[in-house]
Chains A and B, each alone.
Chain A
Amino acid sequence: MIASRFLPRQHLQTLFDQLDALGYRCIGPQVRDGAIVYDRLGDLTALPIGIGAHQTPGRYRLEHQDHQRCFAWANGPQALKPLLFAPHETLWRTERDDAGRLAFTRELQPAQRQAVIGVRACDLAALALQDAHFADARADPSYSRRRHDLLLVGVECGQPADTCFCASTGEGPAISTGTDLTLTELDAGFLVRAGTEVGSALCDALPLRAPSDGELAQAEAEIEQARLSQHRSLPGRNLRESLFANLDHPRWDEVATRCLACGNCVAVCPTCFCSTEREQPSIDGSGSTRVRLWDSCFSAEHSYVHGRLLRPDTRTRYRQWLTHKLGGWHDQYGRSGCVGCGRCIAWCPVGIDLTAEANAICSDASESAQEAP
């Protein structure tokens, strides 16, 4: 265990100044439109100071609280995913000359060093999954370029939402890996520990002091309390066998009567990676731009193949999402695609809780069970 140091709250700005001096564009949490979003952060006064986030199935509300903490909320609808896997990406442009010849070009955005402050354990686990997906043997160039210089300042989660279940999936609320710097917030300041050489160099430039035993004990107690306060859980880490053995479970029909197939769960999920390509023709017909947008397996077009839809109804689309997220990912990435952030529960307009669905489908042996190899 790397020894923590203590950063008094009044010196948090020094961290921002250091990152700025090193040429990083600082991204951090801030309140916008009633939610906590991650965007360019000029200074620490823009942080959600004294803000809490009340989340229950189908509901997300911010509330003012009587404290000066900046990270006393679990999460917002997005964190790292849109910063790396852009919701709208230009793939290439086509120009057609008078002779009908085509010229294709791809412009990659110049690399911009980014530092993200306030990353949670759930989002770090999701980032590792997105890395496995996009930075594979045929790495996505846009993702890889943004990922390369990304600096991550994690903040351990002391105030999980009602919808959180990272303790069940094993990601949090403590941060064990994946950051350059990890903070644990207390009233008077932050415990700080470095995870990389870059993080160590940052620490050297901060006015850190040794933490008191009381501060260390308080931080440990808060994280333990955050773990114990979570009451949702999945019925196991690997649900592949039980999900594929229950493809005809009546619960799929039942959840389909509630699910709106709106795709909110996919949009807020930090691991969902589906995308679709679209054309944006120029108005004079001389050229066109190929763009890549986030897609959702809840849309009709997602299952389009050769003039027909493989998944014509909500039942098969919800089943596709859940069997992939909690089942197929184990084969493809060696772990579940769920990191326990609970966003899909809070942001579902009708409050569908995937832990409840998974428990209903996987907890009993269906009569229609059939073997998956």
Chain B
Amino acid sequence: MSTAAAMGPPWMGPPWEAEVLARDQETRGLCTLHLRLTDANARAAYRFLPGQFNMLYVPAVGGVPISIASDPAQPQRLAHTISAVGRVTRVLATLGTGDRIGLRGPYGRGWPLEKAEGQDLVVVTGGLGCAPVVAAIDYALARRTDFGQLVILQGVKHAADMFWRARYDAWAELPNTEVRLAADQPDHHWQDHVGLVTDLLDEVPLRPQASIALICGPEPMMLAAAKRLVALGISDDRIWLSLERGFQCGVGHCGHCQLGPYFLCRDGPVFPWSEISWLVGRKGF
């Protein structure tokens, strides 16, 4: 009999045990679980790159891929923001402090942050798509002088869907940082842009030759954002987006995330627009 510890990183499982340290209710349908691996050795060895994901596993229920939404400098405490839309995520959303689940990872290729050094970062996200990019923002802010201007654009459908408001407000106070928010359906309190997040691309000053764009959100939104950024003069190898499929194994074996020449879980989930544009937005792929 072999145990997780004896087999090294649990690429194929079994997972590590993870304990819920805290739970934040972000919006009506969204919560963040802050997790800690209970095995001290696994916890000490665990590292992740912004844009990677973990497989979270609820025994007797199932597993789901969730991106890591916390600061990569603090890998002992892993934040996963979860939208309760499916069988497993609805159970995850009921967990509280002290509850235990399985966790394996991290999986996939993250954001090209080393390549982005010395460049402006243009972050365009929609809805829960902000979660996989927050780790990249934390990474860049920890190395603020390595990057140029930081442009952060986040859009939501309903104003009530906006979460991490305090975080956006804090970022907006930082020098050389532009934060703009959009809601397609505003409420009485909404004071930011009304419309699509992609509208904001025409309103912020961009340096196309010196920018790397990080996009995450629903595919139609990413498609529109990438096309707009190309039109604004950013070359397609400087535009990166994070795709989502029904990842199960995390290592390109189970086949659910096959897309053209790629297994998204292993070769992505982050891709440059130059590699993936021909398949994004094609119905059935």
- Residues of A contacting B38 with CB < 8 Å? 101
Residues 258-315 of A contacting B (Cβ, < 8 Å): 273-279, 281, 285, 287-288, 290, 292, 295, 297, 302-307, 310-311, 315
Can you identify 21 A-B contacts, CB atoms within 8 angstroms?
A100-B98, A100-B99, A106-B7, A138-B251, A141-B12, A274-B256, A276-B256, A277-B248, A277-B249, A279-B62, A287-B59, A290-B57, A292-B254, A295-B256, A306-B83, A307-B85, A307-B86, A324-B258, A332-B262, A372-B278, A373-B278
Q: What is the chain A residue whose CB lies nearest that of B18?
A: A102
* 3 tightest A-B CB contacts, nearest first: A331-B261, A316-B284, A274-B255
Q: Kindly state the separation between the CA atoms of A316 and B99 in the bound complex, as whole angstroms.
A: 41
Interface residues of B (CB under 8 A from A): 1-4, 7, 11-17, 38, 57, 59-63, 83, 85-86, 98-102, 244-246, 248-249, 251-256, 258, 260-263, 278, 282-285
- Residues of B contacting A287 with CB < 8 Å? 59
**A73 CB within 8 Å of chain B:** no
Q: What is the chain B residue whose CB lies nearest that of A324?
A: B258
Contact of A102 among B17, B62, B256 (CB under 8 A): B17
- Residues of B contacting A138 with CB < 8 Å? 11-12, 251-253
Q: At the interface with chain B, which of A64-72, A91-99, A204-212, A348-356?
A: A91-99
**A41 CB within 8 Å of chain B:** no
Cβ-defined contact, B260 with A279, below 8 A: no
- Residues of A contacting B248 with CB < 8 Å? 275-277
Cβ-defined contact, A297 with B59, below 8 A: no
Q: What is the chain B residue whose CB lies nearest that of A272?
A: B255
Contact of B253 among A273, A278, A324 (CB under 8 A): A273
Q: Kindly state the separation between the CA atoms of A327 and B197 in the bound complex, as whole angstroms.
A: 36
**A190 CB within 8 Å of chain B:** no
Contact of B3 among A105, A275, A276, A332 (CB under 8 A): A105
Cβ-defined contact, A319 with B284, below 8 A: yes
- Residues of A contacting B262 with CB < 8 Å? 331-332
Cβ-defined contact, B284 with A133, below 8 A: no
Contact of B244 among A92, A105, A288, A306 (CB under 8 A): A306
Task: Tell me the smallest distance from the CB of A261 to a CB of chain B, in Å.
Answer: 13
Task: Tell me the smallest distance from the CB of A251 to a CB of chain B, in Å.
Answer: 15
- Residues of B contacting A107 with CB < 8 Å? 1-2
**A37 CB within 8 Å of chain B:** no
Cβ-defined contact, B59 with A140, below 8 A: no
Q: Kindly state the separation between the CA atoms of A279 and B244 in the bound complex, as whole angstroms.
A: 23
Cβ-defined contact, B102 with A279, below 8 A: no
Highest count of chain B CB atoms <10 Å: which of A92, A93, A107, A244: A92
Task: Tell me the smallest distance from the CB of B264 to a CB of chain A, in Å.
Answer: 10
Q: Kindly state the separation between the CA atoms of A332 and B63 in the bound complex, as whole angstroms.
A: 26
Given A274-B254, A304-B246, A328-B260, the answer on whether A91 and B284 have CB atoms closer than 8 Å is no
- 7 new A-B contacts, CB < 8 A, other than A103-B17, A136-B252, are A100-B98, A106-B3, A138-B251, A281-B60, A307-B85, A320-B285, A372-B278
